[in-house]
Structure 1
Amino acid sequence: MTRTAFSRKHPGEAPTAGVRIVHIGLGAFHRAHQAWYTSRVDEGSEWGIAAFTGRSPAAAEDLQPQGGLFTLIERDDDGDRAEVVGSIVEARNGADLTRFIELLSATQTAIITITVTEAGYRMRDGLPDETDHELCADREWLVGNLAGADQPDPALGGPVTTMGRLVFGLDARRRANAGPIAIVPCDNMPANGYLVQRAIGVLAAEVSRELTDWIAANVSFVSTSVDRITPHTMPTDLLIASELTGWRDNATVVTEPFSDWVLSGEFPAGRPAWERSGALFVDDLEPFENRKLWLLNGAHSLLAYAGMLRGHETVAQAMTDQVCRAWVGTFWDEAVRHLPAHGLDLDGYRSALVRRFTNTRIEHRLSQISGEGVLKLRVRIVPTLLAERADGLDAGASIRAIGSWVALVLSGARLVDSAGEAVALAKSADEPVAALLELLDPRLVADAGVREAVSAVVRAERVEMRAI
């Protein structure tokens, strides 16, 4: 059967919403999460999303000819279910600063959401990374171009990093007197709203006092915890989407049925009623954030590194390995000791994770999870390990996760990491285990018991290591 490509002109298609949300980091997770949540509650077509890519324009190139429409396939062991999501009304190359500045200068734009992964914020110790060459170049551009009376022409160029572009956009909004706005980072960083607020503040302070004061008075930073497993789309998924919907779709996204979104903060210019699609608004995000970072993301990192060492390729494969599954259970026991006993339904959350991890039709590849180990381990594993050690416990499963990462690094496995240069230097140090632990947290190196336990994991794994 010949399939027709998506178009906003299809009969019966809802009217295109005006842009009120600008998104940075157009990828599969944004489409499966924030765009999906918005589409489910925007019956009046009031909250259109203009989504800008990060480094690669590929996602925009797929979505633009389709008017932003895409198929979302929810997949589990019972089968596939598809729906067409229409909340993205513009898909743009992130380098299109002219349109970005135009939208940030518009009064009707109320929200900026972000999904650029932890590394995309280019932070070090919670502040803008002064060793990042692109961020430093953006800072010089901002200082040299925004301090004057006239707004620079975005068509002539501008910042290339997310933080740099945000400062440029906020300055344009200030000059346009376009009113308040909320910034909503949706990446796995503790207190992500606060971190972005601090980074923006540091960069803005170097530009002008006027910009700093305007941001303080007009910009809300919302912290979030997000969750929905979204594996890479395979060519066969495009065929399945076509069979399920009747449309040809080059931007299909595959995800699990489960989703979670917890938010804390103010929306001074309004927001969609996301709670009607299951989002939760809370005053204290930290317990929910830690539950997700430690139990879901921490277990994912443990499975990624330990599972790869045991020859597995996906989360579901690793969870069928009773050794890996036992390690996960022990790690969860360690983590929940340091979470509030009430209000989080920890038993139910763990049971749901087991069902999600054993979903054999979601091919969540360990190689995908294994990237950015330095950043991820710092927030996913290290807090539990340190808390266990402070209580006089051995933290064996937490050490297993870190030791497996160290073993993979020393084995020469190809692990994508923005801290790759630092990892390479540590790997070549006289005491590589200690040097790698130092990258994660100096307190790990200071604990002789942790150093020896990690070294024991490395010795054992390097004896039995399979080809990676």
Structure 2
Amino acid sequence: MTATPRLSRSLPDTPASAPVRIVHLGVGNFHRAHQAWYTHHASDAAEWGIAAFTGRRPDQAEALSPQDGLYTLVVRGREGDSYELIGSLSAVHAASEQDAYLGYLADPDLAIVTMTVTEHGYVRGEGDHLDARRPEVLADISALREDPRSPVATMPAKLVAGLLARRAAGAGPLTILSCDNLPENGSVTRTLVTELAALVDESLVDWTEANVDFATSMVDRITPATTADDRTHVAAERGYDDASPVPTEPFSEWVMSGAFPAGRPRWEDAGAKVVDDVAPHERRKLWLLNGSHSQLAYVGSVRGHTTIDQAIADPRCLAWVEQFWDEAQANLGLPDEDVSAYRAALKDRYRNVRVRHLLAQIANDGSQKLPVRTLPTLNAERAAGRVPVGAATTLAGWVLHLRGVGAPVKDPGAGPAQEAANAGDLVDVVPAVLNTLQADLGADADLVAAVVAQAAAIQE
């Protein structure tokens, strides 16, 4: 019996590797279903290869490097799967490969650095400023002061190290493009990089201002984690072994704004939108999709569900999502007919039973996600004199999650919240937990009462 070959560019009908002009930080399933897919489908894709670096773990580099960066995108429609071989990753590296990273940044042909490092990766403190008190940030600052080529751990420090190498090489301007779920992610990245640069080498601040374009984007594509079944199905359908295929949904959206002084792929050929102002698109997606995802992750898992499609099929979960969407829609400032159409499309996407998006995956890093997904709607409703029961339901689910009910807690920033949540009876701990999200939030007696009431309703 002939062994199934490992996927590589030596197999027939595989795309050629393009020259590296983009570096990506945080290669994972979402990046490969989204930005890498758009780059693959740009009309000038042959000119735009991506060198991707892993995040905390080297797993993707270990899986993809032997495959020459190739992987299979499995698009799960209601009627069945479709398969596509994506070739835009020209190289995949572990995060520890600092010399390779700095080499790319020093190359004048490099035009763009993109990131998907999650909200947690931005090491922010109050007001979206750098949290320079964190041990890992302090360690990175010290390392770069001593040697600008030192390995560093945090995203802002990686960018500063890259900019130091680029300036030293005289390699010219480039764009840094955030693809994470943060409002005004380009502006946030600019602030973090500038503040860390000032602590490492103050002269880099002026160089960055003159040479670096911090672009903003909104991204959207539901992309679950890869399973052993995905690998088995790809081998059976495609005739090769793929160590890391990517399952995703048919829907995809990318809206961006930036100058791109060193150029960019023709992403618009694949359906991306380049606009003057990303903010309205950003709010719609963060509040409606991501906000409801977080609610379903906590509330749905407490009620015994494991995936988005299961949770949205629960009439009570659906009613709470609709309630939260009503509150968000009242404050979005977008035409009601546009928002209503988007809501209907979201429900259709959530009900796709073939995209098994795990609630436990979405539940990660709630301490970083809720301030941008839930609190904007909550604060707008309270400012209008209303008690947002939908938003309170999300917070109630999160409190229960912190108390060990439902999805497991995987959130490095949740230490104070988890400690507060387990310091007594639920009715007594809610104010302290809310205060970890936003100062004095726990002093809002009406909101606290709503959270306590919804915690009881969720567990009924």
How far off its partner does 1:43 sit?
4.6
1:130 maps to 132
2:89 maps to 88
Q: Verify the 8 A CA contact 1:20 1:111 in the aligned structure 2.
A: yes
How far off its partner does 1:130 sit?
2.8
Correspondence 1:20-31 to 2 at 5 A: 20-31=21-32
How far off its partner does 1:386 sit?
1.2
* Structure-2 separation of matches of 1:370 and 1:28: 17
How far off its partner does 1:280 sit?
0.9
* Structure-1 separation of matches of 2:405 and 2:323: 28
Q: Verify the 8 A CA contact 1:41 1:274 in the aligned structure 2.
A: yes
* Structure-2 separation of matches of 1:436 and 1:351: 33
How far off its partner does 1:198 sit?
0.4
Structure 2 residue runs without a partner (length 5+): none
Three-state SS of the structure 2 residue aligned to 1:45 is: helix
**Equivalent residue letter for 2:234:** A
1:150 maps to none
Q: Which moved more, 1:421-430 or 1:289-298?
A: 421-430
> Which runs of at least 4 in structure 1 moved beyond 4 Å after TM superposition?
428-431, 459-462
How far off its partner does 1:38 sit?
0.2
Q: Verify the 8 A CA contact 1:76 1:360 in the aligned structure 2.
A: no
Residue 431 of structure 2, aligned match among 434, 451, 458? 434
2:376 maps to 383
* Structure-2 separation of matches of 1:211 and 1:460: 54
* Structure-2 separation of matches of 1:131 and 1:405: 26
> Is 1:415 equivalent to 2:409 in the alignment?
yes
**Equivalent residue letter for 1:77:** R
1:149 maps to none
How far off its partner does 1:42 sit?
4.5
How far off its partner does 1:243 sit?
2.5
> Is 1:330 equivalent to 2:323 in the alignment?
yes
1:178 maps to 171
Q: Which moved more, 1:452-461 or 1:194-203?
A: 452-461
Q: Verify the 8 A CA contact 2:181 2:218 in the aligned structure 1.
A: yes
> Is 1:424 equivalent to 2:418 in the alignment?
yes
How far off its partner does 1:343 sit?
9.5
Aligned length: 454
* Structure-1 separation of matches of 2:243 and 2:368: 32
Residue 219 of structure 1, aligned match among 212, 220, 224? 212
Cα distance change, pair 444–388 in 1 and its aligned pair in 2 (3 A): same
Residue 444 of structure 1, aligned match among 433, 441, 444? 441
Correspondence 1:57-206 to 2 at 5 A: 57-125=58-126, 126-146=128-148, 154=149, 157-206=150-199
How far off its partner does 1:14 sit?
3.6
**Equivalent residue letter for 1:437:** L
2:231 maps to 238
1:274 maps to 267
> Is 1:342 equivalent to 2:344 in the alignment?
no
**Equivalent residue letter for 2:120:** A
* Percent of aligned pairs sharing the same letter: 44
Three-state SS of the structure 2 residue aligned to 1:355 is: helix
**Equivalent residue letter for 2:107:** A
* Structure-1 separation of matches of 2:5 and 2:142: 48
Cα distance change, pair 210–162 in 1 and its aligned pair in 2 (3 A): same
* Structure-1 separation of matches of 2:57 and 2:401: 28
Three-state SS of the structure 1 residue aligned to 2:403 is: helix
> Is 1:455 equivalent to 2:452 in the alignment?
yes
1:312 maps to 305
* Structure-2 separation of matches of 1:384 and 1:347: 17
Structure 1 residue runs without a partner (length 5+): 147-153
**Equivalent residue letter for 1:232:** A
Q: Verify the 8 A CA contact 1:288 1:344 in the aligned structure 2.
A: no
**Equivalent residue letter for 1:418:** P
TM norm structure 1 = 0.93
How far off its partner does 1:412 sit?
5.5
* Structure-2 separation of matches of 1:349 and 1:222: 25
Correspondence 1:356-371 to 2 at 5 A: 356-371=349-364
**Equivalent residue letter for 1:144:** E
**Equivalent residue letter for 1:452:** A
**Equivalent residue letter for 1:173:** R
**Equivalent residue letter for 2:96:** A
The Cα RMSD (Å) is: 1.7
TM norm structure 2 = 0.95
* Structure-2 separation of matches of 1:343 and 1:287: 13
